Structure 1
Amino acid sequence: MPLELDKQDRQQAIESLQRYFAENMDEPIGNVTAGALLNFFLEEVGPCLYNQGVADAQARLQQRLEDLSFEVHEDVFAYWRKFDANKPRNKPKK
């Protein structure tokens, strides 16, 4: 699945790359070159980040599923226990 940015996010990413080059590199980078570099990052590195995000979401959902069984667990055959708990216990005969 190719990673794509919407038009506004893409433009902001290109501007961010241009600023980075202007402040940290010997030469500035043009709009077309920044767009090509962004495409490279999206294709080459983007899937790693995407897959990590999916793995993080799966781990979080798995944890929530484990919590769910604890949070909503109901004891079975508990009707008589509420009566038995209130009964006085007979002392054992000697």
Structure 2
Amino acid sequence: MYLRLSQEQKERIIRDIKDYFFEEHAEEIGELAAGNFLDFMVKEIGPYLYNEGIHDARDMLEQKLMNLDEDVQSLEKPVHHNRD
């Protein structure tokens, strides 16, 4: 899995990473270090997050299909058997 980020998204995330390291660890890191950290996170953690998103989407679709099935079943007309 390869996560595609626009250049604007990468730049924003790199700024956020740099801010995080400064605010949480009082450590200034450069663009290269923040970019490398982003690449590592995307490569190592990205698949876990992606898979969770897929599972969430599957659960939502299953629920919607169940609701749709119930709606369709509610349209069925009762069948009366005439007995002579």
The TM-score normalised by the length of structure 1 is 0.77
Asked if 1:34 is matched to 2:21, the reply is no
Structure 2: how far apart are the matches of 1:20 and 1:65? 42
Q: Cα deviations across residues 35-74 of structure 1 (Å, max 9, x unaligned)?
A: 0000000000000000000100000000000000111222
CA distance in 2, matches of 1:13, 1:67: 39
Residues 22 and 28, structure 1, Cα contact 8 Å, conserved in 2: yes
1:22 shift after superposition? 1.0
1:77, distance to aligned residue in structure 2 (A): 5.5
Query: Taking every aligned residue pair, what percent have the same amino acid on both sides?
Result: 35
1:1-94 to structure 2, matched below 5 A, reads: 1-73=1-73, 74-76=75-77, 78=79
Counterpart of 1:33 in structure 2: which amino acid? A
Contact 1:4 1:42 in 2 (8 A): no
SS of 2:70 mapped into structure 1: helix
Q: Write the distance in 2 (CA, Å) between the matches of 1:22 and 1:31.
A: 13
* Greater Cα offset, 26-35 or 44-53: 26-35
**C-alpha distance in 1 between matches for 2:55 and 2:38:** 24
**4+ runs of 1 displaced by more than 6 Å?**
none
Checking the alignment, whether the CA contact within 8 Å between 1:21 and 1:27 is kept in structure 2 is: yes
Q: How far off is 1:7 after superposition?
A: 1.1
* CA RMSD, 1 decimal: 1.9
Structure with larger Rg = 1
